Amino acid sequence: MLSLKIAVSPLLFISSLAIAQVARTVFGTLPDGSVVDAYTLHSPDVELRVITFGARVVSLKTKDRKARFGDLALGYSSLDPYVNNKNTYFGATVGRYANRIAKGHLELNRKVFQTTLNNKGMNTLHGGSEGFDRRNWIAKLIPGGVEFTLVSPDGDQGFPGTLTAHVRYILHRNIVRIEYDATTDQPTVVNLTNHTYFNIAGEGNGSILGERLTLYADNYTPVDAAMVPIGEVASVAGTPYDFTRETTIAEHAAQEDTQIKRIGGFDHNWVLRGPTGTLKPAARLFDPASGRILLVQTTEPGIQFNSGQYFDATLIGKSGVAYGKFGGLALETQHYPDSPNHKNFPTTELYPGKHYHSITTWTLSAQ
């Protein structure tokens, strides 16, 4: 995979970030005695808190139209629920391969690899049973933010090659910038993303169905009963998957569609407009009640929209409120699910001497 390029010079961007304040505290201790640290990035407009366990976002606070701060990210106030609830992926960096790989089957250079099956015993999901979300990453401060590093050894969850991954969270005023980098010593596949669930009305503040979503995508990848792409790139025109114009999520979720009925909502990949490697709009989310706006931009070719239909009120969030159905939504910038098994999808292969690089930004505002 070739290095991705962006129009803005990274050096110029980073040099302007000194205004963001970063503070480190202890978030908790893992069962093996490892300490999990928290880093709080603060600007006048946004406060972002991330932890080393899973290189994950645990809170994202910003203002509404009345300048009142609220937390937009679902999650917990302590470490134990993150450790014990393995299927939520709240705020985590997921990998080595985000999303699904059908039957955990990989073929690289005529060699076949089997990755761990942790999705109903049928597929590999988000890197396997002990993916990157389950690891305690190494952290260091950088200008305006924090960098997390993880070394995934050859054979980890069945994936070939030793992969060295970096995730950087950088805050500049009202923009959260997430940078991913990776290198390998053997041919492998890599697809990293962040799995934050958002409710921009405020975490624990009811359903996201009334929030208004735009996806900058004219096509999506239909899935089978196991939620794995069938290999087709289909037009969204005339379907419930057409978010090209801002509409409420409820309006789309109520439409007749076999795939939506099967899972009770959305958990699909959209094919973004514009070239891979160029920072471009991916999604815009607007909450009429609070006035908050989240704009997602990315260098990735796709975005997975998960409407939070799997929540069943058994998880109690940091506000003390149970997360019910549609309590939050995920907007995961990514390469397509199951790309290794579909030659018509953008490649996720990474080779020695090459550099995986990806950028996603969250711009937060209110009107």
Q: What single string gives the DSSP state of each residue in 30-58?
A: -TTSPEEEEEEEE-SSEEEEEETBTTEEE
Cα–Cα dist 187/352, whole Å: 6
Cα–Cα dist 164/160, whole Å: 12
Cα–Cα dist 27/35, whole Å: 8
195 flagged as catalytic: yes
The CATH number given to 10-366 is 2.70.98.10
Tell me what pLDDT residue 19 has.
67
| Best CA proximity match to 215, nearest among 289, 304, 287, 292 | 304
Give me the average pLDDT of each 10-residue run along the chain (367 residues).
Answer: 37 47 97 98 97 98 97 98 95 98 96 96 96 98 97 98 98 98 98 98 97 98 95 97 98 93 95 97 98 98 97 94 97 98 98 98 98
The domain ranges of the chain are 10-366
Q: What's the predicted TM-score (pTM) here?
A: 0.94
Catalytic residue among 332, 335, 342, 357: 332
Cα–Cα dist 281/299, whole Å: 9
CA angle 294, 265, 119 (to 5 degrees): 100
For the record, the structure tokens of 61 come out as 């606070």
| Residue 226 near residue 120 (C-beta atoms within 8 A) | yes
Catalytic residue among 195, 268, 335, 357: 195
Tell me what pLDDT residue 17 has.
42
147 flagged as catalytic: no
Tell me what pLDDT residue 9 has.
36
